[in-house]
């Protein structure tokens, strides 16, 4: 388990006015932060973003395309430009913003990203967004306890991972801070720690399955990966 103390800094964190992130936010806005590798982005990601946008009554959802997920293989991660392009294809509508902010500020970890964005945009009500599959392994993220104390978290149900997420280390440890799905619109302005699971129609697409299908299209003789779903 990793912890990042309050003195943790990343480039530009001390000079938030100098950041050039490609978007601007005003105090009072309700903004979802949707981080991921998007390797590639697919309809499942769009489902999470669109569900959160509607149910949380957000002004915007920012897709934060990670420079490199520390928990995933760099060898299997496509270049940032390709992942940004795939995210733009999925992020439809003026309230969906695709950003390489983590690359620009030199952040590899969600905790650092949150602290920089909160310093850059005081008065904005941020919510961290994730699919249920991420909740199941959230305790592996660096500074995961501090993340839950930094900002509310909304988890959008994903097939096969819903039960695992509810039984996860993070869900158990922060069980008393869980808010009902029916009150999810109140989450952005609820002091952290606060989190909810948003129930909705499932979308079964995954990046793993999509990469496997693309690989088979390039090489028809490639065996089916039993781990792809």
Split at pLDDT 50, 70, 90, the class of 227 is very low
Does residue 49 lie within any of the structural domains?
Answer: yes
Dihedrals phi, psi of 3, to nearest 5 degrees: -135, 140
Does residue 140 lie within any of the structural domains?
Answer: yes
Q: What is the pLDDT of residues 16-31, one digit of tens each?
A: 444 578 899 999 999 9
Which residues span the domain enclosing 181? 29-204
Q: What is the pLDDT of residues 161-194, one digit of tens each?
A: 555 667 899 999 999 999 999 999 999 999 999 9
3-state secondary structure 179-194: CCHHHHHHHHHCCCCC
Report the range out of 50-59, 75-84, 212-221 with the highest average pLDDT.
50-59
The pLDDT value recorded for residue 95 is: 96
Output the domain CATH number for residue 120.
Answer: 3.40.50.620
CA distances from 212 to 127, 132, 217, 227 (A): 32, 21, 9, 10
Does residue 4 lie within any of the structural domains?
Answer: no
Does residue 38 lie within any of the structural domains?
Answer: yes
For the segment 131-135, the average pLDDT, to the nearest whole number, is: 87
Domain tally, the chain: 1
Q: Using CA atoms, how far apart are residues 85 and 10, in angstroms rounded to an integer?
A: 26
Print burial letters for 98-128: b (CB count within 10 Å at least 16), e (below 16). bbbbbbbbebebbbbbbbbbeebbeebbbbb
């Amino acid at each position: 388990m990793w912890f990042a103390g309050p003195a943790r800094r990343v480039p530009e964190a001390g000079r938030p006015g100098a950041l050039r992130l490609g978007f601007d936010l005003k105090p009072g806005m309700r903004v979802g932060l949707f981080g991921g590798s998007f390797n590639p982005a697919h309809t499942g990601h769009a489902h999470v973003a669109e569900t959160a946008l509607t149910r949380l009554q957000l002004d915007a959802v920012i897709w934060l395309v990670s420079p490199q997920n520390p928990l995933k293989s760099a060898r299997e991660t496509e270049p940032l430009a390709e992942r940004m392009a795939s995210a733009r294809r999925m992020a439809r509508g003026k309230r969906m913003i695709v950003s390489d902010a983590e690359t620009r500020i030199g952040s590899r970890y969600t905790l650092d990203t949150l602290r920089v964005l909160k310093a850059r945009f005081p008065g904005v009500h941020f919510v961290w967004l994730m699919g249920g599959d991420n909740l199941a392994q959230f305790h592996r993220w660096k500074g995961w306890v501090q993340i839950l104390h930094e900002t509310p978290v909304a988890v959008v149900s994903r097939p096969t991972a819903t039960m695992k997420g509810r039984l996860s280390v993070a869900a158990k440890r922060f069980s008393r801070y869980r808010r009902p799905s029916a009150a999810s619109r109140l989450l952005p302005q609820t002091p952290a720690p606060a989190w909810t699971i948003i129930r909705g129609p499932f979308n079964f697409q995954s990046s793993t399955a999509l990469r496997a299908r693309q690989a088979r299209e390039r090489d028809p003789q490639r065996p089916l990966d039993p781990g792809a779903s």
